[in-house]
């Protein structure tokens, strides 16, 4: 089901790789509306509303930064069973905006609840009054600028009016485009699976593309499903699957104040009830959710700022998963490894350096390193057949895999990252101008 | 005494800044010899010998990387009271070279001990037989390439023959040049101080300039003094003063396998005996040693790969020094902060981000940030007088100071770093070609 990720990521052409989307279609209980609120002072859509007509169970994971944005504070304060809307703006992170930022969200939530309640009255037999606390916010963009409350409020009426109850691939694409900042491509993924005999959809959209080393959550990622899963099980499923997907990527080792991944479950599919996370009926859903999250996470890396290469670091046979993760991120975040790969230089000495600085005990006489299928270091020695020309040829690929075998246990972890190029400097030296 | 570091680092012109050296002259008991062993296949000097005719007390701190080079293993194995020679080569790190790398050092040490013993016989009334274990090695360069034993051995005779017993500024400059890799400038520093009534010299040379976030030690740094200080006190003094000098710098967050800072004390100055580190007589020396180390450490940063700006991050009023250090390095190592500074963009939001990800509890209503003397954030709010033009003007300077006041205690720590430029990518994408 869905696109083949291996093919997708090994695809020679980056532009091709980035444009291979699955067609997301209608998902029961989710409506989408997008608009240009002129936050970027150009004509792009920059404000997106997800509307759950009958509410949705939900769970979120947020940034572990000690400084968090006002919208994350808002979201953390809302303890409700069902969410009716998620409003996402770009260009402004609503971070370090203090009371102004928080109060703005309150006012926007007031207006949105009023407009959505009116919409309920128009469209529904049993209209519900939408409460402020049933609305969540996603914000992304520059930190520390005054939050553009008025620009957003001015467009809310129109945003609600544009809501349609049937979604198609174009509106999903518009949503994925509408939440972008410096991303060059929208990010969407989908899977289908079964719970009992009911076919379930899991759709997701995400944005990157700088300030990315998630810590328990990441940059914005939103998952939607028509499954009917209670909040507590959604939370467990999300936490479990974030570990080796969004929390396994790094573009530049920086962690955002606004990281947020949420899942919304509209319950429109009438499958047998799920009561615990250990329920066998949920296994297929669990795997499919992981695929959607991993697909989105990889797209975030592949479109990382200035990326010319997608890099997978597979650290194998460690004492425990955390050691493997620490070594993986030490390699992934090393500017010297990342620049060598940008220069298509198989400088494996820098990988040795990065393994060494990870602070995990290493018996280097057992250490092996491969670039793709090519053995470079075997049992602590340069492979006697090592042929730098062959590896240099491999380094020209668009997608590089580095295998590190620590040989001290049986636990593995894969980290995904990108190279560090002049383009990254260009984008980030001039971000605000 | 020496150059004024404040002036040196605030100097507008980088080239001027880098060329302002103190003239190191003769220091009793230290001899220097340099030669081209053709390690770079060009005519530069790449092999340096420091010779202590009557031996020197010594102490070293080494990299905390879990993978260390063969010369560091060699040095750790030599437990002797006095060192007679330090041999430093560049171009090859002698790391991940296994038995070949270690045995090469053994052979070179054999040859060196033989040649230096012959020299003792020629020149000294009471000639001493120099032992293998009385020789230390410093290596720097590419990791994982076969160690060029033969090229070095072939030049040892000539290297010993070139030894002169009187040193001047030219030979110190040649030594500082001889240990460079991608450094664009040699790094030297000196201070004079008193122990009792005796004037003491402390000279130092160092090299950078990539793979630099020292951990208990750093890239190569060698300190020489004519003071007479026992090994155990030298060790304590070095450890204490490394903390806020070499261990307070980061160029690119990468830690070398070859980091090494050593101090050699020839004992030629006949001052009163020093028996403990708490001896009042040593206070002046302690301060002077810190100045030499800080001066060298700052030069390493100022000449960091691709650096266009020298950055000081002064984190103030934390609960403890370690918190201040953690926040300082989180800012110093953030690619987004470093690229913003390269772009002369006062993007203080990224400093907020970097403070947040340091994982230290922050009350952000008390947080203040200054760029130089300009208050940007005061008590968690953008300063009402904030004038971006004024700060943008400040960002054009060659030396940027960022003050972060956490307001949760009384401990401070200064971290020194540089910006991240396209030049860094250029240097490191093509390092080996």
- pLDDT tens digits, one per residue of B8-65: 444 445 544 555 677 899 999 999 999 999 999 888 999 999 999 999 999 998 887 7
Distance CA A211, CA A206 (A): 14
Cβ–Cβ below 8 Å for B381 and A98 = yes
Closest CA of chain A from B114, distance in Å: 32
Distance CA B34, CA B382 (A): 55
Distances (CA, A) of B203 to A75, A78, B75, B135, B168: 58, 63, 22, 20, 12
Give burial (CB, 10 Å; 0-12/13-18/19+) of B7: exposed
Q: Is the dihedral of CA B121, B124, B126, B127 positive or negative?
A: negative
Our count of domains for chain A comes to: 2
Distance CA B44, CA B18 (A): 20
User: Given a cut of 90, is residue B149 above it in pLDDT?
Assistant: yes
> Do residue B285 and residue B355 come from a single domain?
no
> Which residue of chain B is at minimal alpha-carbon distance from A431?
B340
For A161, other C-beta atoms within 10 Å of its C-beta total: 11
Distance CA A391, CA A397 (A): 10
Give me the residue from B336, B381, B426 closest to A254, CB to CB: B336
Using the Cβ of B343 and the Cβ atoms of chain A, whether some distance falls under 8 Å is answered with yes
Cis status, amide bond into A209, omega within 30 of 0: yes
pLDDT value of residue B2: 36
B125-147: b (≥16 Cβ within 10 Å) or e: eeebebebebbbbbbbbbbbbeb
- What the block records as the tokens of A410 is 């049986």
- Closest by alpha carbon to A90, among A150, A38, A31? A38
Q: Is residue A117 part of a domain?
A: yes
Interface test with B, best of A139, A334, A343, A377 (most B CBs within 10 A): A343
* Catalytic choice (B90, B97, B218, B417): B218
Q: Where are the beta strands (DSSP E) in B198-309?
A: 198-206, 220-225, 260-265
- What the block records as the tokens of B416 is 């020194």
ipTM: 0.75
User: Given a cut of 60, is residue B7 above it in pLDDT?
Assistant: no
Residue A273 DSSP one-character state:
P
- Closest by alpha carbon to B29, among B192, B175, B176, B163? B163
Under-70 pLDDT residues of chain A:
1-20, 209-218, 253-256, 430-433
Distance CA A186, CA A205 (A): 8
| Cβ proximity of A195 and A41 under 8 Å | no
Bridging pattern class, strands B198-206 and B187-195 = antiparallel
On chain A, the residues whose CB falls within 8 A of the CB of B429 are 339-340, 342-343, 345
Closest CA of chain A from B307, distance in Å: 13
On chain B, the residues whose CB falls within 8 A of the CB of A352 are 67, 95-96, 143-144, 257
User: Given a cut of 50, is residue B316 above it in pLDDT?
Assistant: yes
Q: Is the dihedral of CA A123, A129, A133, A139 positive or negative?
A: positive
| Phi/psi at B116 (5° precision) | -70, -30
What's the domain range around A409?
310-429
pTM of the model: 0.80
Using the Cβ of A381 and the Cβ atoms of chain B, whether some distance falls under 8 Å is answered with yes
Between these two residues, B299 and A131, which has the higher pLDDT value?
Answer: A131
Using the Cβ of A99 and the Cβ atoms of chain B, whether some distance falls under 8 Å is answered with no
**End residue of a domain, out of B234, B269, B302:** B302
Using the Cβ of A210 and the Cβ atoms of chain B, whether some distance falls under 8 Å is answered with yes
> Do residue B275 and residue B372 come from a single domain?
no
On chain A, the residues whose CB falls within 8 A of the CB of B381 are 98
Closest CA of chain A from B255, distance in Å: 6
Using the Cβ of B424 and the Cβ atoms of chain A, whether some distance falls under 8 Å is answered with yes
Count Cβ–Cβ pairs < 8 Å, chain A vs chain B: 197
On chain A, the residues whose CB falls within 8 A of the CB of B147 are none
Closest CA of chain A from B392, distance in Å: 12
Distance CA B23, CA B21 (A): 6
Contacts of B24 (CB under 8 A, 6+ apart): B167, B169, B172, B188, B190, B203
CATH number of residue A375's parent domain: 3.10.20.340
On chain A, the residues whose CB falls within 8 A of the CB of B364 are 67, 96
Closest CA of chain B from A360, distance in Å: 7
Residues of A labelled as active-site residues: 218
> Do residue A100 and residue A19 come from a single domain?
yes
Q: Is residue A189 part of a domain?
A: yes
pLDDT value of residue B113: 97
For B161, other C-beta atoms within 10 Å of its C-beta total: 11
Q: Find the range with the poorest average confidence among A112-121, A281-290, B359-368, B391-400.
A: B359-368
> Do residue B292 and residue B398 come from a single domain?
no
Q: Name the strand (E) or helix (H) holding B157.
A: helix B149-161
pLDDT value of residue A66: 77
Distance CA B70, CA B62 (A): 12
pLDDT value of residue A4: 42
On chain B, the residues whose CB falls within 8 A of the CB of A211 are 336, 350, 353
Give me the residue from A353, A422, A433 closest to B425, CB to CB: A422
Contacts of A389 (CB under 8 A, 6+ apart): none
**DSSP per position, B47-85:** EEEEEEEEEEEEEEEE---SS--HHHHHHHH---S-EEE
> Do residue A204 and residue A250 come from a single domain?
yes
> Do residue A248 and residue A155 come from a single domain?
yes
pLDDT value of residue A212: 54
pLDDT value of residue B212: 54
> Do residue B338 and residue B370 come from a single domain?
yes
Q: Is residue A4 part of a domain?
A: no
Using the Cβ of B347 and the Cβ atoms of chain A, whether some distance falls under 8 Å is answered with yes
Closest CA of chain B from A88, distance in Å: 20
| Cβ proximity of A206 and A217 under 8 Å | no
Give me the residue from B98, B426, B429 closest to A340, CB to CB: B429
Q: Which of A219-223, A420-424, B309-313, B345-349 has the highest mean pLDDT?
A: B309-313
Give me the residue from A210, A254, A353 closest to B254, CB to CB: A353
Distance CA B246, CA B188 (A): 14
What value, to the nearest 5°, has the Cα angle with vertex B64 and ends B58 and B70?
70
> Do residue B221 and residue B132 come from a single domain?
yes
On chain B, the residues whose CB falls within 8 A of the CB of A257 are 352-353, 356
Residue B141 pLDDT class (50, 70, 90 cuts): confident
Contacts of B89 (CB under 8 A, 6+ apart): B37, B39, B46, B47, B48, B137, B138, B139, B140, B141, B148, B152
| Cβ proximity of A331 and A313 under 8 Å | yes
Distance CA B246, CA B207 (A): 12
Distance CA A71, CA A69 (A): 6
pLDDT value of residue B67: 80
On chain A, the residues whose CB falls within 8 A of the CB of B257 are 352-353, 356
> Do residue A67 and residue A168 come from a single domain?
yes
Q: Is residue A224 part of a domain?
A: yes
Distances (CA, A) of A147 to A68, A142, A154, B27, B349: 15, 10, 14, 63, 14
- What the block records as the tokens of A67 is 């400084």
| Cβ proximity of B48 and B32 under 8 Å | yes
Cβ–Cβ below 8 Å for A422 and B420 = no
- What the block records as the tokens of A270 is 């009438």
> Do residue A281 and residue A315 come from a single domain?
no
> Do residue B260 and residue B387 come from a single domain?
no
Cβ–Cβ below 8 Å for A431 and B340 = yes
Per-residue pLDDT reduced to its tens digit, B201-225: 999 998 876 665 544 333 788 999 9
Bridging pattern class, strands B83-89 and B47-62 = antiparallel
Give me the residue from A254, A336, A355 closest to B210, CB to CB: A336
**End residue of a domain, out of B302, B335, B370:** B302
- Closest by alpha carbon to A420, among B17, B425, B342? B425
- B residues 233-292 lying closer than 8 A (beta carbon) to A: 252-257
**End residue of a domain, out of A236, A269, A302:** A302
For A392, other C-beta atoms within 10 Å of its C-beta total: 13
- Closest by alpha carbon to B233, among B274, B202, B261, B190? B274
Using the Cβ of B364 and the Cβ atoms of chain A, whether some distance falls under 8 Å is answered with yes
Distances (CA, A) of A226 to A336, B213, B226: 45, 49, 78
**DSSP per position, B316-369:** EEESSHHHHHHHHHHHHT-HHHHHHHHTT---HHHHHHHHHTT-----TTS-EE
Cβ–Cβ below 8 Å for A96 and B210 = no
Closest CA of chain A from B364, distance in Å: 7
| Phi/psi at A277 (5° precision) | -70, -20
Q: Is residue A1 part of a domain?
A: no
On chain A, the residues whose CB falls within 8 A of the CB of B145 are 349
| Cβ proximity of B142 and B181 under 8 Å | no
pLDDT value of residue A1: 33
Give me the residue from B63, B95, B353 closest to A256, CB to CB: B353
| Phi/psi at B21 (5° precision) | -105, 150
CATH number of residue A241's parent domain: 3.60.70.12
Reduced to 3 states, what is the DSSP secondary structure of residue A104? helix
Per-residue pLDDT reduced to its tens digit, A332-366: 988 889 999 999 999 888 898 889 888 898 888 89
Cβ–Cβ below 8 Å for A66 and B361 = yes
A74-87: b (≥16 Cβ within 10 Å) or e: bbeebeeebbbbbb
> Do residue A343 and residue A374 come from a single domain?
yes
């Amino acid at each position: 089901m869905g696109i083949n990720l291996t093919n997708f990521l090994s695809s020679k052409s980056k532009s091709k790789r980035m444009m291979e989307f699955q067609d997301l279609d209608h998902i029961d209980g989710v409506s989408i509306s997008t608009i240009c609120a002129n936050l970027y002072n150009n004509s792009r859509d920059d404000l997106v509303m997800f509307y759950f007509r009958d509410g949705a169970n939900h769970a979120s994971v947020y940034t572990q930064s000690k400084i968090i944005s006002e919208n994350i504070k808002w979201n953390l304060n809302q303890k409700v069973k069902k969410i009716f809307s998620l409003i996402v703006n770009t260009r402004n992170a609503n971070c370090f905006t203090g009371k102004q930022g928080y109060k703005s969200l309150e006012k926007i939530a007031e207006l949105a609840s009023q407009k959505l309640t009116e919409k309920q009255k128009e469209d529904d037999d049993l209209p519900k009054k939408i409460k402020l606390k049933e609305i969540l916010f996603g914000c992304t963009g520059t930190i520390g600028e005054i939050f553009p409350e008025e620009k957003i409020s001015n467009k809310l009426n129109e945003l609600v009016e544009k809501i349609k109850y049937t979604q198609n691939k174009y509106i999903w694409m518009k949503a994925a485009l509408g939440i972008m900042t410096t991303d060059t491509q929208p990010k969407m993924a989908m899977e289908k699976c079964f719970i009992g005999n009911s076919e379930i959809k899991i759709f997701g959209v995400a944005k990157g593309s700088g300030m990315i080393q998630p810590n328990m959550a990441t940059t914005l990622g939103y998952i939607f499903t028509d499954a009917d899963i209670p909040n507590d099980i959604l939370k467990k499923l999300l936490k479990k699957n974030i570990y080796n997907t969004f929390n396994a990527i790094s573009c530049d080792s920086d962690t955002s104040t606004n990281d947020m991944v949420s899942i919304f479950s509209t319950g429109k599919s009438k499958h047998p009830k799920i009561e615990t996370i250990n329920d066998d009926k949920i296994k297929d859903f669990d795997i499919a959710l992981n695929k959607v999250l991993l697909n989105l996470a990889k797209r975030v890396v592949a479109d990382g700022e200035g990326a010319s290469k997608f890099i997978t670091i597979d650290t194998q046979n460690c004492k425990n998963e955390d050691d493997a993760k620490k070594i993986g991120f030490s390699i992934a975040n090393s500017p010297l490894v990342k620049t060598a790969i940008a220069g298509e230089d198989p400088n494996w000495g820098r990988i040795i350096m990065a393994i060494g600085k990870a602070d995990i005990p290493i018996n280097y006489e057992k250490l092996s390193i491969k670039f793709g299928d090519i053995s470079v270091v075997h049992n602590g020695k340069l492979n006697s057949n090592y042929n730098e020309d062959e590896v240099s040829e491999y380094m020209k690929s668009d997608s590089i895999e580095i295998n590190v075998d620590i040989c001290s246990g049986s636990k593995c972890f894969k980290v995904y990252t990108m190279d560090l190029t002049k383009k990254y400097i260009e984008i980030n030296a001039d971000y605000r101008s």
